Amino acid sequence: MLNKRPEALDYTAIRIAGIEGKRYDISIRDGRFTSVKESEPGEEIESLDPTEPFAQQGLDQPAEPNQPESGLWISPGIIDLHTHLAWTDFDHADQLKRASSEVEAMQGAAFGATLRTGVTTARDAGGITPQTIRHLVRNYGSPLRVETSSEMLGSADALGTKFLEGRLAEIYATGAGWVKIMATGGLGAPAEKVLEPVFSEEEFNFIVRHAHANQIKVLVHTWGGVTIDWSIRAGVESVEHGMFLTPDQAGRLAESRTAYVSTASIYRIAADPSGVLALPPVIRDRAARAAEAHSRAIGYARSAGVRLGFGTDYATPLLHGYNLQELDTLLEYGLTRAEAWGSATSGAAEILGRGHDLGRIAEGYLADAVIWNADPFRARDAGVLRESIVSVITGQSEAELAGGK
């Protein structure tokens, strides 16, 4: 059940995920937390209606809680810092074969599925413009908050700084708040070439300087190598993927406060021969190589104290709505529950520059939240976690997110 910008909503003796041994009385007014206070002893636990909400949101009935406690838990809404809401097919050529009305309907469905899994804010890492986002939010009834980089700068744009100046102007004109640099190859590149820079160092630095001069943030797709060094020196806001990150680079990322959004689960999904993507063997082999390296890179980053951000890189209808799988991978790769959840809530909000009003259950913050019927910090896996969602609360309505137009 989606609860869109509630005018008035109160919870008595509800638990906040991650805080042991305490219950809270929480009030929401006009889409913001107006009161978050520890409950007095003896107050009743907020009760759960186990039926209607799940039918309304198209989910199966929740599994039995995996601990004896009953009642409700609340957490901040999840923030996915790297997704592709406009993509309908792994191969973009397949998307181009679809009618525009079909593509739009699939994009609208992606917004709804993403919200129902508890993601209330997303950063789209290329492929969708603010104008399209406003249209989808307004017409499909899904108040998902989305920040965008619109188009990606890649190999076709490596034609010198004068050309890049024009391309950047085009991106700014869309209203994007981010510029994405495709600094290395990805799954489409041969293993021996995947770390080679797409741009010259001069072009790379020009993009970052130009974006920052225009108050635009920068995220960098890089599998590793020298482009991570360039990113640190240039002062970009976040590096993405980075599975061949070295311990020395992790230390410098931490020192510079550059965020690292690893998007770890997508490579394991891509490498699985029986997985939902069903990719060709050559792509699966490259994904397996990336997945093998990823756990080491995340370990280096965690040990160095790098700012970690949650991102999925999910980009097809088979993946939208299953964003919580990224938590499973982060936990398997060594993060604690608190670290993994922090990367998806308060830490992600800070990376977006929204740490002052998103990502926390706190007075004055936007009431983006998820209500659970079991402790999300004790869920066995993402499947159990997803089934324990009772409702998703959004602090803003479609009209507000679409600019009221």
SS3 label, residue 378: helix
Distance of CA 307 to the CA centre of its chain: 15
74 has pLDDT over 90? yes
Q: In this predicted model, what pLDDT tens digit does every residue of 194-221 receive, in sequence order?
A: 999 999 999 999 999 999 999 999 999 9
Please check whether residue 84 is in contact with residue 313, taking contact to mean a CB–CB distance below 8 angstroms: yes
Residue 56 has pLDDT above 90, yes or no: no
At position 129, the amino acid (one-letter code) is T
Angle between helix axes 201-213 and 161-173 (nearest 10 degrees) is 30
Q: What are the DSSP calls for 58-89, one per residue?
A: TPPPPPPPSSS--S-EEEEPEEEEEE-TT--S
pLDDT at residue 50 tops 50: no
Q: How far apart are CA 363 and CA 350, in angstroms?
A: 17
The whole-number average pLDDT for the span 15-34 is 97
Phi, psi values for residue 118, rounded to 5°: 100, 0
Structure tokens at 96: 């181009």
Structure tokens at 171: 């991106």
- What is the model's pTM? 0.93
- CB atoms near residue 346 (< 10 Å): 18
Tokens of residue 148, six digits: 């965008």
CA distance 243 to 237: 18
What are φ and ψ of residue 174, in 5° steps? -75, -15
What are the residues whose beta carbons fall under 8 Å from the beta carbon of 154, sequence distance 6 or more? 182, 198
Q: Is 183 helix (H, G, I), strand (E, B) or coil?
A: coil
The pLDDT assigned to 69 comes to 53
Residue labelled with tokens 């995220």:
219
Of the given ranges (89-93, 242-246, 285-289, 348-352), which has the lowest mean pLDDT? 89-93
Is it the case that residue 24 has pLDDT exceeding 70? yes
Please report which confidence band the pLDDT of residue 383 belongs to, taking 50, 70 and 90 as the band edges.
very high
When pLDDT is averaged across residues 133-147 and rounded to a whole number, the result is 96
User: How large is the average pLDDT for residues 20-41?
Assistant: 96
Give the number of C-alpha atoms closer than 13 A to the C-alpha of residue 50, restricted to the C-beta side: 9
pLDDT at residue 95, as a whole number: 86
Q: Rounded to an integer, what distance in angstroms lies between the CA atom of residue 314 and that of residue 263? A: 9
The pLDDT of 147-160, averaged and rounded, is 97
Rounded CA separation 242/262 (Å): 6
Q: Across residues 373-397, what is the average pLDDT?
A: 97
Contacts of 53 (CB under 8 A, 6+ apart): 1, 390, 391
Q: What is the pLDDT at residue 44?
A: 54
Q: How far apart are CA 91 and CA 363, in angstroms?
A: 44
**Predicted local confidence at residue 65, as pLDDT:** 34
Q: Which two structure tokens, joined as six digits, stand for 400?
A: 């507000």
Model confidence at 41, in pLDDT bands (50, 70, 90)?
confident
pLDDT tens profile 248-269:
999 999 999 999 999 999 999 9
Is 150 within 8 Å of 176 (Cβ atoms)? yes
| Contact residues for 158 (Cβ-Cβ < 8 A; gap 6+) | 198, 199, 200, 203
pLDDT, mean over the chain = 92
Q: Pairing between strand 389-394 and 2-4?
A: parallel
Angle at 278 between CA 129 and CA 287, to 5 degrees: 75
Q: Say if strands 119-124 and 145-148 run parallel, antiparallel, or are unpaired.
A: parallel
Q: How many CA atoms lie within 13 A of 327 on its CB side?
A: 30
In this model, does residue 55 exceed pLDDT 80?
A: no
pLDDT of residue 1: 87
Alpha carbons 124 and 113: distance in angstroms, whole number: 15
